[in-house]
A and B are shown apart, each in its own frame.
Chain A
Amino acid sequence: MSSRTSHVVADRLNGIQENVWVELIELAKEVKPVNLGQGFPDFAAPEFITKALRDALKQPDIFLNQYTRSYGHPRLVNALSKLYSKLLCRELDPLNEILVTIGADEAIYCTIMALVNPGDEVIIIEPFFDIYEPVTKMAGGIPVFVPLRPKKTHGPISSADWVLDPKELASKFTNKTKMIIVNTPNNPLGKVFTRSELEMIAELCKKHNVICVMDEVYEWLVFKGSEHIRMATLPGMWERTLTIGSAGKTFSITGWKIGWLYGPRELTKFPQLLHENCISSCATPLQEAIAVGLEIENEHMGTPESYWRDLVDTLEPKRDRMAKFLTTVGMAPTVPEGGYFMMADVSEIASKIDLDAETGMKDYRFVKWLCRNKKLQGIPISAFYCNEHRNLGENFIRFCFCKEETTLEKAEQIIMDLKNSLL
């Protein structure tokens, strides 16, 4: 059988490995640390959402347990349309301009696979959420990386201090560039791109005819002093932008795996088609419950009853607390403007520790050491950089602060003990 590809696995999986978290998840299972690693809350999801699912299951409408519309359950796409039409100041067509997906992950997958051909370049801003690179490669695309860099090295650092170099960014756009992926608020930095930063990206997209993929899953988690700006609202950008959202982040139900994308029909129709031939449709009862959640939140937006307001009010002090204890121990944090992650520079503390028993880049070794020896888990940041730029991440660790107070107390205790042990 020499004419057919004699090996078993398809070429598109060349170089694709199990993701970087697997090793750490295994370690966590073994060690059972205080887990500030993976990004999900360790407290209960909001009751109005879980109740909505319970009600959907009990309802006389038995069709809520059967197949629904492929591109998105009508009640949900209508709720999304209502919400985003308001925020975008344009009528968002629920049937043609929205696609409901299996979390933001599948929105990214369908967008890239539907629009990127072998040889197309895709600009990815580092540090980047880890799936952008392998999915681009699976589509045969060529990832082109450009890093955000801190413009300060001393004193308190905010995620706003991490910036793109305009010349460097512009140099990445070539006549092969098909797409750029921008994540705001950013994981892991928490950076909330400003209007002028987005305008700079927008100008380049328009100049080079590039599709802009906006990963805005943390759009509701923006702290005081910052504002989430939607690229799709910038002049000339609606027609070339696809924006991605996530129910998991919106309602603290990461395990429900429902997300969406929206954009002009001319672009949306392609990920819709890919989705139809990949997943077919998303879970009906979950979509129904999320629709109910959005209807409720839509009513409460901007009022004291707003869940999103409450989430921000809950997270901001946690952010500040974590920034404080990390600073105290000499782990220089980047205080995020949004999202629920915080990066910290561990180089000072790591230099005082013998990490030789662990393998890998410096941040991996520190993370594993911290997990094994101090029972505290974070995520190594070099995982969010391409191979060539891993050194840009190797001094950093990422912690999630979307956790119960008791969890954060334990983490704080461990960190303080660590500091004391090193004096």
Chain B
Amino acid sequence: MVSIFRRLGSHSSRTSHVAADRLKGMQESVWVEFIRLAQEVKPVNLGQGFPDFAAPEFVTKALSDAVTGPNVLLNQYTRGFGHLRLVNALSKLYSKLLGRELDPLTEILVTVGAYEALYCTIMALVNPGDEVIIIEPFFDCYEPMTKMAGGIPVFVPLRPKKTHGPISSADWVLDPKEFASKFTNKTKMIIVNTPHNPLGKVFTRSELEMIAELCKKHNVICVMDEVYEWLVFKGSEHIRMATLPGMWERTITVGSAGKTFSVTGWKLGWLYGPHELTRPAQLLHQNCVYTCATPIQEAVAVGFEIEMERMGTPDSYWQDLIETLEPKRDRMAKFLTTVGMAPTVPEGGYFMIADFSEIGSKVNLDSEQGTKDYRFVKWLSRNKKLQGIPPSAFYCNEHKNLGEDYIRFCFFKEETTLEKAEKIIVDLKKSLT
């Protein structure tokens, strides 16, 4: 390709290579590699985070109705910053939860999944040279998005404060001094994910307050990735940073219809915050995708209207989801423990990480490449037909060692899937004794 482009005339004044600099260092994401592997091997797939059972009917029916119904305009362009019916529903829901009136037109942006919400937020607010604090392990897109904006990611890890006995995601904590040291006069933004992927950690009020104090002290924008906000298990409570004193004006919060209604393939999300912060994200969105899919927004709006009516009642879908997931979580934690993979029991979300190092040390991983966890995940997929995700993908290059003893499993799966996974794990253990 280079030769094709160089043989014709001289063009040394314009950037002579093809790709823009902002793509430097970008590689295929961890997902692309592992989706490909799964397609090849067809394992019991506990890797990527989505359910393997049907999405709730009240939502899929709403989409079907929107597309085939009498209102033909539901198949045509809608409002760029968010379909009215949806932003009104989001406003109604979050106004209640935030204890403040959320303006549907100026304080909300509907996006193509939480992914685009994060992208627009970062690209709209981060300049080259700005520092962005990212808490590790992190959802993998935070780093490349920060770099694409020319920002400098600054990483600070959560660390388990226990090494023995049952570990909860609550045991993974920030070191206050280390954390404070990351804030400099170049810090523009911090990204916090609660409930957390992959740990399942639900940040406590005092942990959020610690972050809030530093944000206020250093005038930093706080980006809260709260996509798993409805998936919090007994004993924990999801707290919204935007409700903490002094934080509304500097916080953008991101949500996801995919996680809310188990329709990850619908790719619809949103962000909300003060107009000063949502406005730049809205402008970026306008130039990136312009508007999101109308019928999908209509269906998600209907879903919210229905769920809002039954919130806190036994008919609540979110309540049902938690009651479905909690025993799955406990079952997985149990069978992983039985085989010597030490799990971190999550307080929220639908992922579980487990320390496989004991079992990993008994297996020959030489045929695979990469960090230890990459090699174990690939070996496990190819040889035992069980797929997870390697958490070192959620750490910066310098800290990959912090993740390399772990594997991440998704437990948002049918009972039959979990049974198969359990059997594979138990057989694996037997084969190694």
Q: Are A255 and B75 in contact (CB under 8 A)?
A: yes
Q: A50-B75, A120-B14 are in contact. Are A10 and B149 (CB under 8 A)?
A: yes
Does residue B77 face the partner (Cβ distance < 8 Å to A)? yes
Residues of chain B lying within 8 A (CB to CB) of residue A239: 1, 4
A65 to B186, CA, bound (A): 41
* Pair A283/B186 contact, Cβ less than 8 Å: no
Partner of A257, one of B4, B14, B26, B289: B289
In the bound complex, how far is the Cα of B287 from the Cα of A170, in angstroms? 29
Which A residues are CB-close (under 8 A) to B149?
10
CA A9 to CA B112, docked complex, whole Å:
21
Q: Is B371 an interface residue (CB 8 A)?
A: no
Interface footprint category on A: 35 or more
- CB of B58 closer than 8 Å to a CB of A: no
Q: How far is the CA of A211 from the CA of B52 in the complex (A)?
A: 43
| Residue of chain B at shortest CB distance from A47 | B68
Which chain B residue lies CB-closest to A138? B287
Chain B: interface residue total (CB-CB under 8 A): 95
Known: A10-B125, A273-B26, A285-B63. A255 touches B294 (CB 8 A): yes
Which of A8, A43, A45, A280 is B280 in contact with, Cβ under 8 Å? A8
Q: Cα distance A135–B268 when bound, in Å?
A: 23
Query: Which residue from chain B places its CB closest to the CB of A41 in the assembled complex?
Result: B76
CA distance A90 to B113 in the complex (A): 35
A3 touches B186 (CB 8 A): yes
Let me know if B12 is at the binding interface, CB within 8 A.
yes
Contacts of B266 in A (CB 8 A): 65, 283-285
**Known: A9-B280, A267-B18, A270-B23. Is A283-B265 also a contact (CB below 8 A)?**
yes
Across the interface, A279 reaches (CB within 8 A) one of B26, B116, B124, B125, namely B116
> A66–B50 contact, CB under 8 A?
yes
A105-113, A153-161, A182-190 - the one binding chain B = A105-113
Q: Are B9 and A207 in contact (CB under 8 A)?
A: yes
| A64 CB within 8 Å of chain B | yes
Which B residues are in CB contact (< 8 Å) with A119?
A: 14-15
B115 within 8 Å of A by Cβ?
yes
Q: Which A residues touch B258, using CB under 8 A?
A: 67
Which residue from chain B places its CB closest to the CB of A40 in the assembled complex? B76
Q: B-facing mask of A32-75, CB < 8 A → 1, else 0?
A: 00000010111111000011011001100011111111100000
Could you say which residues of chain A place their CB within 8 Å of the CB of B267?
Answer: 279-284
A64 to B60, CA, bound (A): 11
**Candidates B13, B52, B263; contact of A175 at CB < 8 Å:** B13
Closest to B21 in A: A117
User: Is B115 touching A279 in the complex (CB atoms < 8 A)?
Assistant: yes
Taking the nearest CB of chain A, how far is it from the CB of B278, in angstroms? 11
Report if A286-B72 is in contact (Cβ < 8 Å); known contacts: A176-B13, A206-B8.
no
The yes or no answer to A4 lying at the interface (CB within 8 A) is: yes
Check B77 against A38 for contact (C-beta < 8 Å): yes
Q: Of the listed stretches B27-35, B85-93, B231-239, B420-428, name the one at the interface; the rest are far from the partner chain.
A: B27-35
B293 within 8 A of A: yes
8 A Cβ contacts from B219-250 to A? 219, 221
Flag if B32 contacts A276 (CB, 8 Å). Answer: yes
The answer on a CB contact under 8 Å between B112 and A177 is no
Q: A67-B48, A279-B113 are in contact. Are A120 and B289 (CB under 8 A)?
A: no
Q: How far is the CA of A285 from the CA of B266 in the complex (A)?
A: 7
A40 to B78, CA, bound (A): 10
Query: Contacts A43-B72, A53-B67 hold; do A120 and B15 have CB atoms under 8 A apart?
Result: yes
Interface: B362 (CB within 8 A)? no
Q: How far is the CB of B77 from chain A (nearest CB, A)?
A: 5
B67 engages A102 (CB within 8 Å): no
Q: How far is the CA of A154 from the CA of B26 in the complex (A)?
A: 55
Contact between chains at A42 and B72 (CB < 8 Å): yes
Given contacts A2-B185, A4-B131, A276-B29, contact A256 B286 (CB under 8 A): no
Closest CB-CB distance, A238 to chain B, in whole Å? 11
Looking at the complex, which one of B8, B28, B280, B294 makes contact with A276 (CB distance below 8 Å)? B28
Q: Which positions 3-45 of chain A face chain B at CB distance < 8 Å?
A: 3-5, 8-13, 16-19, 25, 38, 40-45
- A231 proximal to B (CB < 8 A): no
Cβ–Cβ contact B23 & A273, under 8 A: yes
Q: A102-B112, A209-B11, A278-B288 are in contact. Are A54 and B265 (CB under 8 A)?
A: no
Are A284 and B11 in touch, CB under 8 angstroms?
no
A105 to chain B: which residues have CB within 8 Å?
Answer: 288-290
Also in contact, A134 and B19, with CB within 8 A (given A40-B76, A255-B77, A283-B266) = no
Chain A CB within 8 A of B188 CB? yes
The minimal Cβ–Cβ distance linking B402 to chain A, given in whole angstroms, is: 23
**B212 at the A/B interface (Cβ < 8 Å)?**
no
Residues from chain A with a CB closer than 8 A to the CB of B119 are 277-279
Known: A1-B219, A4-B185, A8-B221. A109 touches B289 (CB 8 A): yes
Residue contact A11 to B127, C-beta cutoff 8 Å: yes
A121 at the interface (CB under 8 A from B): yes
| CB of B87 to closest CB in A, whole Å | 15
Q: Are B188 and A5 in contact (CB-based, < 8 A)?
A: yes
Contact of A65 among B10, B55, B126, B185 (CB under 8 A): B55
- Complex Cα distance A138/B148, Å? 12
- Chain A nearest CB, measured from B65 CB (Å): 9
Cross-interface CB contact of B125 among A9, A106, A280, A282, cutoff 8 Å: A9
CB neighbours (8 Å) of A102 from chain B are 112, 289, 292
> In the bound complex, do residue B145 and residue A277 qualify as a contact, i.e. CB atoms below 8 Å apart?
yes
Interface residues of A in 104-145 (CB under 8 A from B): 105-106, 109, 113-117, 119-121, 131, 134-135, 138-139
What is the CA–CA distance of A115 and B286 in the complex, to the nearest angstrom? 20
CB contacts (< 8 Å) of B125 on chain A: these are 8-10
Give the chain B neighbours of A391 by CB distance below 8 A.
Answer: none
Which B residues, 75 to 118, have Cβ-Cβ distances below 8 Å to chain A?
Answer: 75-80, 112-113, 115-116
Q: Give complex CA distance A102, B53 in Å.
A: 26
Per a CB cutoff under 8 Å, which of A266, A270, A286 touches B296?
A286
**How distant is the Cα of A376 from the Cα of B284 in the complex, in angstroms?**
31
Confirm or deny: A192 has a beta carbon within 8 angstroms of a beta carbon on chain B. no
- A175 to B, closest residue via Cβ: B13
Q: Is the CB of A66 within 8 A of B72?
A: no
B360 sits at the interface (CB 8 A):
no
Q: Which residue of A lies closest to B8 (CB)?
A: A209
Interface assignment of A327: CB less than 8 Å from any CB of chain B: no
Q: Can you report 5 residue pairs joining A to B where beta carbons are below 8 Å apart?
A: A4-B130, A42-B72, A54-B68, A208-B11, A282-B112
7 tightest CB-CB pairs across the interface, nearest first?
A255-B294, A284-B265, A266-B1, A40-B76, A66-B50, A65-B55, A45-B75
